[in-house]
Amino acid sequence: MARARNIKPGFFKNEDLAEMDPLSRLLFAGLWCLADREGRLEDRPKRIKAELFPYDNCDVDQLLDDLQEYGFIYRYEVDGSKYIFIQNWHKHQNPHHMEVPSVIPPAPGTTDKYAHSPVTKVQRQRIFDRDGKKCVECGVTKNLSIDHIIPVSKGGDSSDSNLRTLCKTCNSKKGNRDVESTSSQEQVDNGSSTNRDQLDKTASCSTDSLIPDSLNLIPDSLNLIPDSLIPLPPTTDSQEQPKKEVVVVSGRDLYVFKSVIDQYKHYFVRDPNETIKNLLHSYLDDEVQMDMLAWAMRDAAEKGKDWNYAKGTINNLFSRGIRTAEQAELADQEYKQNRLQKRGSNVVQLVDKLPASVQRQQELQQAGTFASGEARKIADDPELSEMLHKLRSRTAGD
């Protein structure tokens, strides 16, 4: 079964891949979609070709050999069955925590990284009862979810000891970090001078890497949609205005308001990559207000959509000259009203017209010349007589 995986621009600049046939490069990326959460798949060249190259005439077996020669994959055999392992898989991919465990034996010298299994409804209720049906961080009793103390992407399992109850807000704040790193991040947010260094380190990336580093794309809980915007820091006349954080994007120092970055992390539960940071900065340069960016991200999150949905919303509003959240809200209300009106105009008008025989019967009843309880002959009804005559003629002709 094909799965969604991660890729970033560095893939296209890798020098070793550049020495290979273009189909070999495409095959390498396609193998990620066929591999399980441990980076393994069956070594069946004909089936792989049917999945990835249904319209191309190519030798997939030879292409796989080329990938192995350059060290991108490892082909191995266990008990007479052949398999493929994608090298450096765990370094670059972050499978969904609900993805089924691998049933393929590991390659020599490797082990399973993900030891968890999906949390069942019974186990979820047991954890809620154990924690008193409240968030262990803030104590609220609504919008609860299950959190992995050690994230599954870092080897955490789904045992009761590694699970706890968090509200959506606390779970969203924690993201894909473990408890210790979460506490450290809170100290940084409360005044540490290393904020800028951490942002610079997050934004920078190597152009030689094949697949993106773990971007925390999948949260531990599926119910992480926030209820409100992140409040902006209060300002007074005696306080200085919040400073812009320096974020390194594409080798240039670009100033992006930290609040926009924080809101992105809040709604999509991961750090924005280099491309998204650059795009957010371009929106601000085009005089799109921060509240409209937050409005679009919140709208996407509430609908269970990702950043691409929010980006489409922003682009659509921008093309219509909308720059603020207030204008966006009015445009959204107008759109919903137009949809309701359009639905009302599409109501099908039924034609109230009865068959000729029924109409004639009603006329006879109104004239008092027809009694519904009396037996009638077909010959008394011209329409039925004609139908019978046609039927007899057709039968005689046969």
CATH number belonging to domain 9-92: 1.10.10.10
State the DSSP code for 348: P
Per-domain boundaries in the chain: 9-92, 115-184, 225-232+242-347, 356-397
Query: Could you tell me the two tokens for 8?
Result: 């970033």
Q: Alpha-carbon distance 203 to 53, whole Å?
A: 35
Residue 297 contacts residue 303 (beta carbons within 8 Å): no
Q: Do 329 and 313 contact (CB within 8 A), yes or no?
A: no
Non-local (6+) Cβ contacts of 238 within 8 A are none
Q: b/e per residue, 277-293, with b = 16+ CB within 10 A?
A: bbbbbebbeeebbbbbb
State which amino acid sits at residue 139.
G
- What is the DSSP secondary-structure string of 173-196? HHTT--HHHHHHHHHHHTT-TTHH
Q: Domain 115-184, what architecture?
A: Orthogonal Bundle (1.10)
Give 55-84 pLDDT, tens digit per residue.
Answer: 899 999 999 999 999 899 999 999 999 999
| Predicted confidence (pLDDT) per residue in 234-277, tens digit | 444 444 444 444 444 333 334 455 788 888 888 888 888 888 88
Number of helices (H), then strands (E), belonging to the chain: the values are 16, 7
For 15-71, the pLDDT digits (tens) are 888 889 899 999 999 998 999 888 899 999 998 998 999 889 999 999 999 999 989
Rounded Cα distance, 137 and 383, in Å: 81
In percent, how much of the chain has pLDDT > 70? 70
pTM value surpassing 0.85 = no
CA distance 216 to 96: 10
